[in-house]
Amino acid sequence: MQTRVLTGITTTGTPHLGNYVGAIRPAIAASRRADVDAFYFMADYHALIKSDDPARIERSRLEIAATWLAAGLDPNKVTFYRQSDIPEIPELTWFLTCVTAKGLLNRAHAYKASVDKNNELGEDADAGVTAGLYMYPVLMAADILAFNAQQVPVGRDQIQHIEMARDIAQRFNHIYHREFFVLPEALIEEQVATLPGLDGRKMSKSYDNTIPLLAGGAKQLRETIMRIVTDSRAPGEPKDPDSSALFMIFRAFASEAESAAFRRALEEGIGWGEAKQVLYERIEADVAPMRERYESLIARPAAIEEILHEGARKARAIAAPKIAELRDAIGLRAMSSVSLHAGKAKLPSKGGKSPRFASFRDSDGSFRFRLFSSDGDELLLSKSFKDPKAAGAVQKKLKTLGGAAATLHTLSLSLVLELDGEPVANTPDYVDEPARDEALEYLREALDLLAAQESE
């Protein structure tokens, strides 16, 4: 079983060593694990909340995509896409908005911080606050819930947003009486140390103490490392590695053995200038090949665009059926199915026909069944079961499922029905897509009828 891990990368600013060590590197390592199904995306709709400078938005998206790819993200293994390429995300945002308590959003840290600041300054509480900032947590919930993500790796500052996503998901599930959404969990990497910056405080853009990852090349990297603040011990005097930002940064890149050797060198009195050169060379050994890949990617933006399109295609293959299911569940349905869906599905009149299952033994000895509509049309053919009990158990589940809860994926001109993430039955191939889509409505109606009968 794979765990679906999803995270968003806000496309503002230029990545620094702290971002690399704290987010990019561990996310790429996780994406290589066989038990992880990773979804990484650029949160460019979120970026619009922070910036209204089109050039900056454009530049940042390109740089960040190139950085992740250069750092080793394999788009064949990971679903890597742009939020703004997935129209199902804003669509879901609205569905979620309509079940989200305004009071919940009032309590969001980012919004509250703006209000507090305004109050301090004697301004109107909402001065300068856009509805975008206010809605930030709902958009983020849609990012996560559209894909049924189980784990969401984030920094501590984002934990509240994940809790809100859970709240919103639960509220939706409750209102519409089904477990539509998996409840996501925040994944906080405990081992990943936060990297100190030039002044020893946490490396952060807001402290202006960052070391750039790729921007400015090797020269800029070296020059910035030379500005790391140290104590005034002279060459020859023993240095304390454990109170040194320089050593902590080194450790984030080096092996145990390399760190032990560097520790010894400091304790034996290596000069700070020389120590910084050692640090620079160690980081540059990791960064140089990345920088080379980065330059070649940045030179071919069309190739990056292509990778992101492919990612969006993969992502939408999951989000689109999910949204179709939700539309149906909340009542945004084709008019043709209105009467059958209104309130509870209507039971066939006494003596009237109802959908029915027919079990049979296949030529290879396995057990299968078909589902026929009330009119006798074949709706589904099950997969083969070795055991008739297993086939019976699936029929039993289908009887109580109901149309809205059925997970149905399109497979060119047919549909696949899934139960608990496993494909269990197929429709026949239809002549064209409209016929297939009509059959989808039909099938949902049949499932509703079965469920209504079961609950009688």
Q: Is 143 annotated as a binding residue?
A: yes
CA distance 264 to 76: 43
Residue 252 touches ligand TRP, criterion: CB under 6 A: no
3 is in an annotated binding site: no
Helices (H), 71-98: 88-97
Kindly indicate which of the ranges 4-12, 126-134, 167-175, 282-290 contains the residues binding ligand TRP, using the contact rule CB under 6 A: 4-12
Kindly tell me which of 152 and 417 has the beta carbon lying closer to ligand TRP.
152
* Of 454, 350, 359, nearest in space to 405 by CA: 454
CB of 9 to ligand TRP, least distance (A): 7
DSSP state of 192: S
Residue closer to ligand TRP by CB (options 43, 391) is: 43
Residue found by looking up tokens 């301090």 in the block: 120
Query: Which CB atom, from 155 or from 238, has the smaller least distance to ligand TRP?
Result: 155
Which residue's CB is nearer to ligand TRP, number 323 or number 405? 323
205 is in an annotated binding site: yes
Binding mask 88-107 for ligand TRP (x = CB under 6 A): --------------------
CB 372 within 8 A of CB 356: yes
Identify the CA nearest to 170 among candidates 157, 183, 189, 187. 183
Residue span 23-62 as binding mask against ligand TRP, x where in contact by CB under 6 A, dash where not: --------------------x--x----------------
* Helical segments of 232-366, H only: 245-253, 256-267, 272-298, 301-330, 338-341
> Exactly one of 28, 66, 146, 154 binds ligand TRP (CB under 6 A); which one?
154
Rounded-to-integer distance, Cα 111 and Cα 133, Å: 7
* Backbone dihedral angles phi then psi of residue 167, each to the nearest 5 degrees: -60, -45
Query: Considering beta carbons, is residue 149 or 415 the nearer one to ligand TRP?
Result: 149
Q: Could you tell me which of 4, 77, 15 has the C-alpha nearest to residue 42?
A: 15
Least spacing, CB of residue 27 vs ligand TRP, in Å: 11
Residue 77 among known ligand-binding residues: no
Q: What is the DSSP string of 358-384?
A: EEEE-TTS-EEEEEE-TTS-EEEEE--
Residue of 89, 140, 245, 417 that binds ligand TRP (CB under 6 A)? 140
Backbone angles phi, psi at 52, to 5 degrees: -115, 30
Check the annotation: does 384 bind a ligand: no
Q: Annotate each residue in 360-379 with x if it binds ligand TRP (CB under 6 A) or - if it does not, as one string.
A: --------------------
30, 5 in Cβ contact below 8 A? Answer: yes
Which of 12, 84, 158, 427: binder of ligand TRP (CB under 6 A)?
158
Tell whether residue 325 is a contact of ligand TRP (CB under 6 A). no
Neighbouring residues of 362: CB distance < 8 A, sequence distance ≥ 6: 368, 384
Cβ closest to ligand TRP, residue 50 vs residue 409: 50
The residue range among 1-9, 67-75, 209-217, 307-315 that interacts with ligand TRP, by the rule CB under 6 A, is 1-9
Closer Cβ to ligand TRP, 7 or 337, answer by number: 7
The DSSP result for 331-359, as a single string, is: T---GGGHHHHSSSPPPPPTT----EEEE
Tokens of 177: 């009486």
Block residue for tokens 């209000």: 115
Closer to ligand TRP by Cβ: residue 158 or 337: 158
CA distance 433 to 14: 45
Structure tokens at 277: 């050169």
Kindly tell me which residue out of 37, 44, 88, 143 binds ligand TRP, with binding defined by CB under 6 A.
Answer: 143
In sequence order, the β-bridge partners of residue 31 are: none
Is 202 marked as a binding-site residue?
yes
Q: Is 213 in the site for ligand TRP (CB under 6 A)?
A: no
Would you count residue 152 as binding ligand TRP (CB under 6 A)? yes
Binding residues: 10-12, 18-19, 143, 155-157, 195, 202-206
Where along the sequence are the contacts to ligand TRP (CB under 6 A)?
6-8, 10, 43, 46, 140, 143-144, 152, 154, 158
Binding residues for L-tryptophan: 143
